[in-house]
């Protein structure tokens, strides 16, 4: 049996059915739909399409529970940039397990962080958006998780 591979794909690159199935799952989870039939009808998909993809489609923010995720950032080599970057993790409730920073070259340093995310107070997407827009963060991405 071959090992499954997983990919993180931008929403705009996904077929519409995957997005609708993920939304139907969300509706069921929060009680906006009473059952699969209602969720499928509200999303204008068939029940069979829902069942076909329900186990294969998982919104990224739902991956956070009980997970260790490794992030990479390219930061400007300016005072306070690393501290601000780390405070975003701390404020989100992510627990940093490892941190590795390269020696700055050309005014930039690479920082790799592995963090345990099950106790986060905010969604993973919100934390990532905050980091991506933070002062001195030139590049930010998920390496593994």
pLDDT of res. 122: 79
19-46 burial, b at 16+ Cβ within 10 Å, e below that, comes to: ebbbbbbebbeeeebeebeebbeebebe
Mean pLDDT of the chain: 86
pLDDT band, residue 73 (cuts 50/70/90):
very high
Query: How high is the pLDDT of residue 4?
Result: 67
pLDDT score for 130: 87
Looking at the chain, the whole-number percentage of residues with pLDDT higher than 90 is 43
- What confidence tier does 43 reach under pLDDT thresholds 50, 70, 90? very high
Q: Give the residue, 67 or 135, on which the prediction is more confident.
A: 135
Phi and psi at residue 76, to the nearest 5°: -65, 145
Asked whether the predicted pLDDT for residue 63 surpasses 60, the reply is: no
Q: What is the mean pLDDT of residues 5-29?
A: 85
Flag whether pLDDT at 74 surpasses 90.
yes
Residue 40 and residue 98: Cα distance in Å, rounded? 42
Assess whether pLDDT exceeds 70 at residue 61.
no
């Amino acid at each position: 049996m071959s090992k499954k591979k997983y990919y993180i794909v931008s929403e705009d690159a996904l077929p519409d059915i995957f997005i609708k199935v993920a939304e139907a799952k969300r509706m069921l989870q929060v009680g906006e739909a009473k059952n699969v039939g209602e969720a499928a009808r509200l999303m204008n998909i068939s029940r069979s399409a829902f069942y076909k993809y329900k186990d294969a489609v998982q919104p990224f923010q739902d991956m956070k529970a009980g997970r260790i995720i490794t992030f990479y950032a390219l930061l400007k080599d300016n005072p306070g940039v690393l501290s601000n970057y780390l405070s975003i993790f701390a404020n989100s409730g992510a627990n940093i397990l490892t941190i590795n920073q390269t020696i700055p070259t050309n005014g930039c340093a690479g920082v790799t962080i592995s963090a345990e995310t099950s106790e986060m107070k905010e969604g993973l997407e919100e934390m990532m958006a905050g980091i991506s827009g933070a002062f001195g963060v030139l590049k930010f991405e998920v390496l593994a998780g």
